Amino acid sequence: MIVLAGTIGAGKTSLTKLLSQHLNSQPFFESVDDNPILPLFYKNPQKYGFLLQIYFLNRRLDEIKGSFDNDLNVLDRSIFEDSLLFKLNADLGRATQTESNIYTSLLNNMMEELPDEQHQKAPNLLIHIQVSFDTMLDRIKKRGRSFEQIDKDPSLYNYYKELNERYQKWYDQYDLSPKMVIDGDKYDFVEDDQAASDVLRQIDQKLESLNLK
> What pLDDT, in 10s, does the model give residues 14-26?
999 999 999 999 9
The CATH number assigned to the domain with range 2-209 reads 3.40.50.300
**Global pTM value:** 0.87
**Which candidate, 62, 57, 17, places its Cα nearest to that of 37?**
57
Q: What is the pLDDT of residue 115?
A: 65
- Convert the pLDDT of each residue in 139-169 to its tens digit: 999 888 888 899 988 989 998 999 999 999 9
H/E element, 182: strand 179-183
Q: Which residues are catalytic?
A: 76
Convert the pLDDT of each residue in 189-204 to its tens digit: 999 999 999 999 999 9
pLDDT bin (cut points 50, 70, 90) of residue 42 is: confident
Rounded Cα–Cα distance for residues 120 and 3 (Å): 13
**Residue 116 reports pLDDT greater than 70:** no
2 SS3 class: strand
Q: Examine the pLDDT at 1 and tell me if it is beyond 90.
A: no
For range 46-72, the mean pLDDT = 85
- Going by pLDDT thresholds of 50, 70 and 90, the confidence category of residue 64 is confident
The whole-chain average pLDDT of the chain stands at 89
DSSP state of 146: G
Report the candidate in 169, 206, 210 with the shortest Cα–Cα distance to residue 19: 206
Write the DSSP string, 20-72.
HHHHT--EE----TT-SSHHHHHH-HHHHHHHHHHHHHHHHHHHHHHTTT-TT
**85 pLDDT above the threshold of 90:** no
Q: What is the mean pLDDT of residues 92-101?
A: 90
pLDDT at 78: 77
Distance set, CA 147 to CA 25, 41, 154, 155, 176 (Å): 32, 9, 11, 12, 33
DSSP H helical segments within the chain, as ranges?
Answer: 12-23, 38-43, 45-66, 82-91, 97-113, 133-143, 156-173, 193-209
| CB-neighbour burial class of residue 12 (10 A; exposed 0-12, middle 13-18, buried 19+) | buried
Question: Which residues on neighbouring strands pair with residue 4, listed in sequence order?
Answer: 76, 127
Highest mean pLDDT, choosing among 49-53, 95-99, 112-116, 129-133: 129-133
Radius of gyration of the chain (CA): 17
Predicted pLDDT of residue 165: 92
C-beta of residue 95 within 8 angstroms of C-beta of residue 23? no
